[in-house]
Amino acid sequence: MRCGRSSDRVGQRGAGQFLVARAARRSMAVMSKTERSPDTPRETSALVGPLDWRRLVQWLADDGVISAAEAERTVARCSAAQSAQPPLQRLSVVGMVRESDGATLSLDALSEWLAGHLGLPFVRIDPLKVDVGRVAEAMSAQYAERHKVLPVQVGPAEVVVATSEPGLTDWVPEVERQTRRTVRLVVANPLDIKRYTGEFYALAKSVRAAVKAGGGPQASFEQLVELGRSNRTLDANDQGVVQVVDWLWQYAFDQRASDIHLEPRREQGVIRFRIDGVLHPVYQLPVTVLAAMTARIKLLGRMDVVEKRRPQDGRIKTKNPRGDEVEMRLSTLPTAFGEKMVMRIFDPDTTVKNLDALGFSAHDARRWEALVKRPHGIVLVTGPTGSGKTTTLYSTLKRLATEEVNVNTIEDPIEMIEPAFNQTQVQVHLDFDFAQGLRALMRQDPDILMVGEIRDLATADMAVQAALTGHLVFSTLHTNDAPSAIMRLMELGVAPYLINATVLGVLGQRLVRTLCPLCKVPDTEASRAALDEVIKPWQASGNYSPYKAVGCIDCRMTGFKGRMGLYELMVTTEAFKDKVNREPSMDALRRQAVTDGMRPLRVAGALKVAEGLTTLDEVLACTPPLH
């Protein structure tokens, strides 16, 4: 067994080890704040046997984490009452105050401190990084529960086991013999160990049950079809597949995923989550189980379960752990190795936000508000797919949709059901497209109309007609920036005078990742001059406090958490309209837009960098260069 001495940590950063290695780095970083390095040999701290709260309090005081007075107070309080709670939990509820910053010592902080004190790595268990199937094979659920440990990683030569009782190691030789691997101990929050022991073993059991019940894709698949036909209630207790699907959704919500991918490959089924725009592999499982999961999800999404050769769409409403309704849009696609399923998650919290939360600067929020309060005309939002256009439109429409106003949308597809709108979906196979839809909506006594996208002249013409007859029309265009929208409309064949008569303004937008607030640090090497250089001739005036990405368990070591919009808002003033003619110059349009108050995307990004919300690299990657 290798445990206890910090030198063991060196050389454990090979591939596949980073979960533990980075946690070790993290705990070292934290320890360095408390003066004493975990690398110092500590004969006095050798721990054999169960933890004891008196001893822990003594160590906390020795390490200078709490003051002598605080130690005395804690001992007095804990001695006064009997408690069956394990020592770390017991100490976490008395609310000891940390000497250095006055913060209350949480269970997490105590676990991390204990790890450092004993020279062991501290690990925050990340369910997405744990191969549940392999880990569950390392020991039985009963064994793990009895010893209050949880295997978190199984490598070719060692198995990493999380414990909250590092002094209890009598089980180690047995596990080493059984797994034919060396046991490496790491310390984790005892409540996390308890929670994930339950979840991991339940999940592993569900997958095993699904594999067994299936025997092949056909069997489990037929079974599910049968259940759907007979309308029998699915029993979550004996249905492995049902549990795996439930687990999948819970984790996706926990991890703030925007999309879930179920991908059949030649050998394995792969599950990936998209988080803040980046895909993360989550789990691999037998293709048969993946097929059964896809069938179950199709069933819930009221899709044709038998049809696997044609792409299908569907939607599901479910609840997240907080009890909020979450809407998911499903789509399937036949691929070489089976049916691929993608679920897009529309979290009600993230979908409709106020302008500030979306990332609007005060300057643009004011101008946007004024624009969308106009009684009629066309307001366009532009940007590539996945730049947050729909979120901006929904958030804006939501605030305009009062009892006195009829808001109608025609979308392809309806991304999010919003009770305040009348929403219609394009049905191409019925010849019901955007232009047809708009024509129909016009007979519905509308005030405000939203057309998913303008991509042909027929739709553009209808939008113009609607605006000319006194309606406010919102839509999107696929262009790189706001001024290009005018050119795009002309390319479609809309006459310049009609553009001038109807288009009120164009909002160009992008999404950039925001720095994780928990781990970002001031970027002392960044200079204001470098920032000004990329936005010449603009200058980032005002506060300048850039931060850089570090990475912690909370942000999956990416250094970023969540995304926000960057916006450029072009308002069509009289001077601007003068420049929209038969042969408009892109340059002239851009210059006029800027004169009228537009801050280009890259400049908007630079301001976010100066505020320390994102990084310059992130902005440069997401925004077009200045002209």
Per the DSSP assignment, residues forming a β-bridge with 522 are 547
Q: Which is nearer to Zn ion, 49 or 517 (CB)?
A: 517
Q: Is omega for the bond preceding 281 within 30 degrees of 0, making it cis?
A: no
The smaller minimum CB distance to Zn ion, of residues 24 and 88, is found at: 24
Q: Shortest approach of Zn ion to residue 380 CB, angstroms? A: 36
Which one of the spans 52-60, 377-385, 478-486, 553-561 is the region binding Zn ion (CB under 5 A)? 553-561
Distance CA 196, CA 127 (A): 8
Residue 434 identity: F
Three-state DSSP at 186 gives strand
CB of 28 to Zn ion, least distance (A): 16
Q: Which is nearer to Zn ion, 518 or 575 (CB)?
A: 518
**In the chain, what's the furthest Cα-to-Cα distance?**
88
Q: Name the 3-class secondary structure at 506.
A: strand
- Choose the stretch contacting Zn ion; rule: CB under 5 A; options: 132-140, 170-178, 309-317, 544-552: 544-552
Minimum distance of Zn ion from residue 24's CB (angstroms): 16
Pattern of binders to Zn ion over 462-501, x per CB under 5 A?
Answer: ----------------------------------------
* DSSP of 222-288: HHHHHHHHHTPPP-TTT-HHHHHHHHHHHHHHHTT-SEEEEEE-SS-EEEEEEETTEEEEEEEE-HH
From the CB of residue 313, how many other CB atoms can be counted at a distance below 10 Å? 12
Please identify, using beta-carbon distances, which residue of 68 and 518 lies nearer to Zn ion.
Answer: 518
Of the candidates 552, 564, 593, 601, which one interacts with Zn ion according to CB under 5 A? 552
Beta strands 547-548 and 422-425, pairing class: unpaired
Q: Find the part of the chain contacting Zn ion (CB under 5 A) among 59-67, 118-126, 416-424, 510-518.
A: 510-518
Selection from 518, 591, 604 nearest residue 564 by Cα? 604
**Comparison of 491 and 554: residue with beta carbon closer to Zn ion:** 554
Round to whole Å and give the CA distance between 255 and 320: 11
Contact 437, 475 (CB under 8 A): no
x/- string (CB under 5 A) for Zn ion, residues 555-574? x-------------------
Q: Which parts of 518-537 interact with Zn ion (CB under 5 A)?
A: 518-519
Shortest spacing between CB 520 and Zn ion, in angstroms: 7
Of 506 and 516, CB closest to Zn ion: 516
Stretch that binds Zn ion, among 146-154, 233-241, 342-350, 554-562 (CB under 5 A): 554-562
Ranked by CB distance to Zn ion, the top (closest) residue is 516
Assign 566 to helix, strand or coil. strand
Residue 256 CB, shortest distance to Zn ion, in Å, is: 13
- Match 């409540």 to its residue by tokens: 191
Write down the least CB distance from residue 361 to Zn ion, Å: 25
Contact region with Zn ion (CB under 5 A), list: 187-195, 265-273, 335-343, 552-560 = 552-560
Residue 554: partners with Cβ closer than 8 Å, 6 or more residues away: 516, 518, 519, 561
The residue count for binding Zn ion (CB under 5 A) is: 6
β-sheet bridge partners, residue 450: 409, 474
**CB distance 566 to 359 below 8 Å:** yes
In the bound complex, what is the minimum distance in angstroms from residue 555's beta carbon to Zn ion? 3
Q: Is 516 a residue that touches Zn ion (CB under 5 A)?
A: yes
CA 600 to chain CA centroid, Å, is: 27
What is the nearest approach in angstroms of Zn ion to the Cβ of residue 456?
45
Q: Which stretch binds Zn ion (CB under 5 A): 168-176, 203-211, 517-525, 564-572?
A: 517-525
Binding range to Zn ion, per CB under 5 A, among 18-26, 353-361, 475-483, 515-523: 515-523
From residue 325 to residue 364, the character string flagging contacts with Zn ion as x (rule: CB under 5 A) and all else as - is ----------------------------------------
Closest by CA position to 450, among listed 471, 431, 479, 419 = 471
Nearest-approach distance from CB 557 to Zn ion, in angstroms: 8
Give the 3-state DSSP-derived string for 386-453, with helices as H, strands as E and coil as C.
CCCHHHHHHHHHHHHCCCCCCEEEEECCCCCCCCCCEEEECEHHHCECHHHHHHHHHCCCCCEEEECC
**Least distance (Å) between residue 611 CB and Zn ion:** 18
Q: Which is nearer to Zn ion, 10 or 518 (CB)?
A: 518
Q: In the numeric block, which tokens belong to residue 257?
A: 């995923």
CB of 514 to Zn ion, least distance (A): 11
Least gap, CB of 566 to Zn ion (angstroms): 21
Stretch that binds Zn ion, among 67-75, 249-257, 372-380, 547-555 (CB under 5 A): 547-555
Residues that bind Zn ion (CB under 5 A): 516, 518-519, 552, 554-555
